[in-house]
């Protein structure tokens, strides 16, 4: 069994939901970023989404856009992200998902990316702008079963397309809570519960909800309906507010502990 499945089975037995945390790799610089992700994994994070900084992050709001700009200015590349993953794997079994747009992977080489990601100890990839109809180019060279392709479902996705997307997914399904970009306000719990039910009719994979979740209260409310909660902009906002603070890794770790406590339902 792979690390993602093991994580969800362990959490279900413990009556907990998954805390999935996103940060942009290399923000505010690669050295501090390594300290941050290490501290997050030691503090209760269940799954790490490690973002590849990209110059045109169209699905992301201004907070994550600025984090990408900072990381790019510090020279962070996809190779940097894979090196960080390999270093992290030496100290933790927390699943790592490489979160990227397709351009960096295509430029790196899809087969080279797969082999390097597996060798680094990554557990899967989420490619924001790669629809199922175009993803064979990426997955045709995947020779093992332990590397997942996480798929996105939006509130506006028609039911028949939800089935197409979830059939092609593995690991878990990332359910976008609202229309808009990451970091948007206006989280509404009732529509999320309905969306989770719609997705579960098409798949047995865990359903994790992201976009617009920023407080422990948000985590507790969403955890009642979903198998996991994804938080990105709130972590990146905390990083942005403490760029020169030497205690930044511990600040992020404390935030992880607060969110994780709210996943116990």
Query: Any idea which of 7-16, 42-51, 172-181, 224-233 has the lowest mean pLDDT?
Result: 172-181
Mean pLDDT to the nearest integer, 3-15: 96
Task: Return the closest-CA partner of residue 6 out of 233, 206, 250, 262.
Answer: 206
Active-site residue, 60 included: yes
**Over the chain, what is the mean pLDDT?**
93
At 265 the pLDDT is 73
- Alpha-carbon distance 47 to 45, whole Å? 6
- Alpha-carbon distance 242 to 259, whole Å? 19
- Alpha-carbon distance 64 to 237, whole Å? 8
Query: What pLDDT, in 10s, does the model give residues 53-69?
Result: 999 887 788 999 999 99
Catalytic pick among 16, 60, 123, 218: 60
- Whether the full predicted model's pTM is greater than 0.85, yes or no, is yes
Task: Return the closest-CA partner of residue 161 out of 211, 125, 202.
Answer: 202
Under the banding of pLDDT at 50, 70 and 90, the label for residue 14 is very high
Mean pLDDT to the nearest integer, 6-12: 97
SS3 168: coil
Catalytic pick among 16, 49, 123, 218: 49
SS3 249: helix
């Amino acid at each position: 069994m792979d690390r993602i499945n093991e994580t969800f089975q362990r959490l279900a037995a413990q009556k907990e939901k998954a805390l999935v945390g996103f940060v942009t790799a290399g923000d505010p610089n690669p050295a501090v970023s390594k300290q941050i992700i290490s501290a997050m994994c030691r503090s209760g994070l269940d799954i790490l989404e490690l973002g590849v900084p990209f110059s045109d992050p169209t699905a992301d709001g201004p907070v994550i856009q600025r984090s990408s700009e900072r990381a790019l200015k510090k020279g962070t590349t996809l190779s940097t992200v894979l090196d960080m993953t390999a270093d992290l794997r030496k100290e933790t079994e927390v699943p790592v998902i490489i979160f990227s747009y397709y351009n960096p992977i295509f430029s790196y080489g899809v087969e080279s990316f797969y082999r390097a990601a597996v060798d680094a100890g990554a557990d899967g990839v989420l490619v924001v702008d790669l629809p199922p109809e175009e993803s064979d180019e990426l997955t045709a060279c995947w020779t093992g079963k332990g590397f997942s392709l996480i798929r996105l479902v939006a509130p506006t996705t028609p039911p028949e397309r939800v089935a197409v997307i979830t059939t092609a997914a593995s690991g878990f399904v990332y359910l976008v809570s609202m229309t808009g970009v990451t970091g948007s306000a206006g989280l509404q719990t009732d529509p999320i519960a309905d969306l989770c039910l719609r997705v579960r009719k098409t798949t047995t994979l865990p359903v994790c909800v992201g976009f617009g979740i920023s407080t422990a209260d948000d985590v507790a409310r969403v955890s009642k309906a979903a198998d996991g909660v994804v938080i990105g902009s709130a972590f990146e906002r905390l990083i942005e507010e403490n760029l020169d603070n030497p205690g930044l890794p511990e600040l992020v770790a404390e935030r992880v502990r607060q969110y994780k406590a709210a996943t116990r339902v």
